[in-house]
Homo-oligomer: A and B are copies of this chain.
């Protein structure tokens, strides 16, 4: 079992990364920081004659590497009650990969993967991030990918997450689960 951590945060070493580290410390993972890549907004060309045109950014290379893993951990700060725009740009592009001849088995491939979400927000995330969790579930359902769990932390200022005992306990519980499945 091979694990990709997909980071949607826009600052380094923020609360989301700290909490995620609690979940993956000592677990072999490959980390992808989406902010380090140039990912353009999707342009919906599903229904044009020519279909999707090649986009000259880092997405195709990135998705290729991520797909080599069996488990995806989506680690995102909660921006305006949903995933960061940085994360959303990445996921929106999946619509293009679904029609990309270079990835003829994209959907089938995702059906075999499992996913986790780790999210940190500042405004009552235990309640207000739930729609985002439901959206991740719908995304997973679309592909037949199993959403195995999620951890929601509460923090805003740098370091604040270290006071969220509940989230830390949940992250450590997730770590045990990941270690058992290695």
Copies of this chain, complex-wide, total 4
Docked-complex contact A44 and B10, CB < 8 angstroms: yes
Docked-complex contact A42 and B137, CB < 8 angstroms: no
In the complex, A181 has a CB within 8 A of chain B: no
CB distance from A150 to the nearest CB of B (A): 7
In the complex, A28 has a CB within 8 A of chain B: no
Docked-complex contact A134 and B138, CB < 8 angstroms: no
Docked-complex contact B128 and A131, CB < 8 angstroms: no
In the complex, A179 has a CB within 8 A of chain B: no
Binding site for B on A (CB under 8 A): 9-11, 14, 35, 41-45, 47, 77, 79-86, 88-89, 91-92, 94-95, 123, 126-128, 130-135, 137-139, 142, 147, 149-150, 157-158, 165-166, 169-170, 172-174, 176-177
Q: List 26 A-B contacts (CB under 8 A).
A: A10-B41, A11-B47, A35-B41, A41-B84, A41-B85, A41-B89, A42-B79, A80-B95, A80-B142, A81-B138, A81-B139, A82-B83, A85-B85, A85-B89, A85-B91, A123-B138, A123-B142, A130-B130, A131-B132, A131-B135, A132-B135, A149-B166, A165-B173, A166-B174, A169-B169, A169-B173
